[in-house]
């Protein structure tokens, strides 16, 4: 059944494991979901592609948004989120996010997460498109690392099994119901069939579609691709968020310069030293990310040079205390941020789209759930509000657990699965193909998109359609299969959406169009049949 699996296998000839609940991914969404399931007395196993801390969560600098300040409210947070989402947010999903978010953040505190505090309570900062200081942070600019630390500690304290170096190859689905997953144990090289009452996808995004990205190497869109192959719907994939300020040095270090730096007073300057953002948006440096990104690219094109983030007017000691990771990383590259402007440029950062779910994390496939960046519940719309991503994983991971606990806990018999139709791919340079794919995406699916470039990229992906009929021989090839699948879907969606909105900007349709206030959904019928 070509195109529906990426390896040949037969579960009757494989070792198998039975687990109550299988969580795929070890970032904030996966670990929090696993923690809640275990605390509720349910069995759970976490599988993660590399090491447990190798996640986008661990890299998050800025913080987590929640309306906990005395001058703030969930209503204000909702309004800011809807405004940033450019007309495509699901208002009910956003309402859930902002009203349940404060309690989920308090859960993190109860689990030992050490957010920065002042004498008056939590230290709150402001980021782009927020009208209030509502961002909690930790370690100056190491919020994600602190959250990852606390969650890992709690998961280990509960003795939840975490299987590292386990690559989820495909989901085992029959007649629209998920029975588990096919997993490659990279330490032994063997395939294992995991049978489960429920599978929770929390595998992150697809930033590695682009060479210039803030994402870790593991972010290859695996969850989106395997859910799509299994018959789940995916949506809003044309909306890719590019972070405006990523360190741009000749050494090629793709290192994020947190939006919180602009929130604390950082000023964007072009090569002539002009502070230019006020020409593009009344909120200047704190405009929505898509606006800042396009403004930077416009200035770069006009001056044929990078732009700069200037924080030299801020007190040096407080700057280094507030942003120790950024200061130390830049210093290691010979740049003193207290004395020198920081050269920056946009880079791929976050997928607004993903596996379509309802507000309980349910997908179009029964017993398959998704949360975090791999999922699209509708809270981000066309352009995610800064620091809503960590909150998204918490809130909707928690709602998945609520839905699971409300259902009967009994086992059901599952079929065996097999695929034997995939042929050998022959000599494929998967390393070179991954590079060529990233070059295509960088050139034509970036923050500014031309119709001719989109069509060229679509032809690129069509050239590799034949790989859907070929078995992936190893994890590197599996990642490329998944990148090809997701990259083609992103390209098709970008070609179809004939307007500009949020993170999707087309030069031939530079304005939003009311007729396109809708979502593009891709879904294929599942043909995952049981073995004879």
> In whole numbers, what is the pLDDT of the chain averaged over residues?
94
Q: Is the pLDDT of residue 26 over 60?
A: yes
pLDDT tens digits, 224-259: 999 999 999 999 999 999 999 999 987 667 899 998
| Partners of residue 89 on adjacent β-strands | none
Q: Which CATH class is domain 427-518?
A: mainly alpha
- Give the angle 433-435-441 at the CA atoms, nearest 5°: 105
Residue 407 pLDDT grade (very low, low, confident, very high; cuts 50, 70, 90): confident
In contact, 416 and 530? CB cutoff 8 Å: yes
Weakest mean pLDDT among 258-272, 323-337, 408-422: 408-422
Cα gap 213→58, rounded to integer Å? 15
Residues sharing a CB contact under 8 Å with residue 300, sequence separation 6 or more, in sequence order: 306, 307, 345
Classify residue 49 by its DSSP letter: S
- 3-state secondary structure (DSSP) of residue 390: helix
Kind plus residue range of the DSSP H or E element containing 429: none
DSSP letter string over 314-382? S-HHHHHHHSHHHHHHHHHTT--TTTSPEEEEEEEEEES-EEE--TT-B-SSBTEEE-GGGEE-SSSTT
Query: In the chain, pLDDT over 90 holds for what percent of residues?
Result: 90
Residue 381 pLDDT grade (very low, low, confident, very high; cuts 50, 70, 90): very high
> For the chain, which residues make up each domain, given as ranges?
243-346, 427-518
Q: Which residues are catalytic, by number?
A: 289
List the 307-310 sheet strands across, edge first.
240-247, 342-351, 307-310, 267-269
More confident residue, 260 or 364: 364
Alpha-carbon distances, residue 7 vs 203, 260, 373, 388, 474 (angstroms): 20, 44, 26, 36, 9
Residue count (the chain): 532
> Residue 408: what pLDDT?
77
> Residue 124: what pLDDT?
95
Nearest CA-CA partner of 178 in 390, 417, 440:
417
pLDDT tens digits, 278-320: 999 999 999 988 999 999 999 999 999 889 999 999 999 999 9
pLDDT tens digits, 110-130: 999 999 999 889 999 998 889
Kind plus residue range of the DSSP H or E element containing 524: none
The CATH T-level fold of domain 243-346 is Flavocytochrome C3; Chain A, domain 1 (3.90.700)
Cα gap 47→401, rounded to integer Å? 17
Per DSSP, helices labelled H in 445-518 are 451-463, 475-496
> Residue 531: what pLDDT?
58
Q: Is the pLDDT of residue 530 over 90?
A: no
CA dihedral 385, 390, 394, 396 (to 10 degrees): 40
Q: Is the pLDDT of residue 321 over 50?
A: yes
Residue 336 pLDDT grade (very low, low, confident, very high; cuts 50, 70, 90): very high
DSSP letter string over 258-299? -HHHHHTT-EEE-TT--B-GGGT-TTGGGS-HHHHHHHHHHH
Residue 2 pLDDT grade (very low, low, confident, very high; cuts 50, 70, 90): very low
| Three-state SS sequence of 4-45 | CECCCEEHHHCCEEEEEEEEECCCHHHHHHHHHHHHCCCCEE
Mean pLDDT to the nearest integer, 508-526: 93
């Amino acid at each position: 059944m070509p195109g529906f699996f990426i390896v040949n296998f037969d579960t009757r000839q494989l070792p198998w494991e039975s687990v109550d609940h299988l969580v795929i991914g070890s970032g904030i969404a996966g670990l929090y979901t696993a923690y809640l399931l275990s605390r509720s007395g349910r069995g759970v196993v976490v599988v993660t592609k590399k090491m447990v801390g190798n996640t986008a969560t661990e890299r998050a600098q800025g913080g987590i948004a929640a309306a906990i300040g005395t001058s703030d409210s969930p209503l204000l947070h909702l309004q800011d989120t809807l405004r940033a989402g450019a007309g495509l947010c699901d208002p009910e999903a956003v309402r859930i996010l902002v009203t349940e978010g404060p309690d989920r953040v308090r859960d993190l505190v109860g689990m030992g997460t050490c957010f920065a505090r002042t004498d008056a309570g939590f230290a709150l900062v402001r980021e782009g498109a927020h009208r209030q200081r509502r961002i909690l942070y930790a370690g100056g600019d190491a919020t994600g690392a602190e959250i990852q630390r606390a969650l890992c500690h709690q998961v280990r304290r509960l003795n939840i099994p975490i299987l590292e170096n386990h690559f989820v190859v495909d989901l085992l689905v029959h007649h629209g119901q998920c029975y588990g997953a096919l997993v490659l144990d990279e330490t032994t090289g063997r395939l294992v069939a995991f049978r489960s009452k429920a599978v929770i996808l929390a595998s992150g995004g697809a930033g590695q579609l682009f060479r210039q990205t803030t994402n870790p190497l593991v972010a290859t869109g695996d969850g989106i691709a395997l859910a799509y192959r299994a018959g789940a719907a995916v949506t809003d994939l044309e909306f890719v968020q590019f972070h405006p300020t990523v360190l741009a040095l000749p050494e090629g270090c793709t290192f994020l310069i947190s939006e919180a730096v602009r929130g604390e007073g950082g000023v964007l300057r072009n090569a002539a030293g002009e502070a230019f953002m006020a020409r593009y948006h009344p909120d200047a440096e704190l405009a929505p990310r898509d606006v800042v990104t396009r403004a930077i690219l416009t200035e770069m094109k006009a001056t044929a040079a990078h732009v700069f983030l200037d924080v030299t007017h801020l007190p040096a000691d407080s700057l280094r205390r507030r942003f120790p990771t950024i200061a130390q990383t830049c210093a290691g590259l010979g740049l003193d941020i207290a004395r020198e402007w920081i050269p920056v440029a946009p880079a791929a950062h976050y997928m607004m789209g993903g596996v379509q779910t309802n507000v309980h994390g349910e997908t179009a496939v029964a017993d398959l759930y998704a949360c975090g960046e791999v999922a699209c519940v509708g809270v981000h719309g066309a352009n995610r509000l800064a620091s809503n991503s960590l909150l998204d994983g918490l809130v909707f991971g928690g709602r998945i657990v609520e839905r699971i606990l409300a259902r009967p806990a009994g086992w059901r018999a599952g079929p065996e699965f097999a695929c034997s139709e995939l042929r050998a791919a022959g000599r494929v340079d998967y390393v070179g193909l991954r590079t060529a794919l990233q070059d295509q995406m960088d050139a034509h699916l970036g923050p500014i998109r031309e119709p001719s470039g989109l069509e060229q990229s679509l032809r690129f992906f069509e050239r590799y359609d034949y790989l859907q009929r070929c078995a992936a021989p190893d994890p590197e090839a599996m990642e490329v299969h998944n990148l090809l699948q997701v990259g083609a879907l992103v390209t098709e969606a970008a070609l179809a959406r004939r307007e500009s909105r949020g993170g999707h900007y087309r030069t031939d349709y530079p304005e939003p169009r009311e007729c396109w206030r809708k979502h593009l959904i891709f879904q294929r019928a599942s043909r995952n049949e049981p073995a004879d």
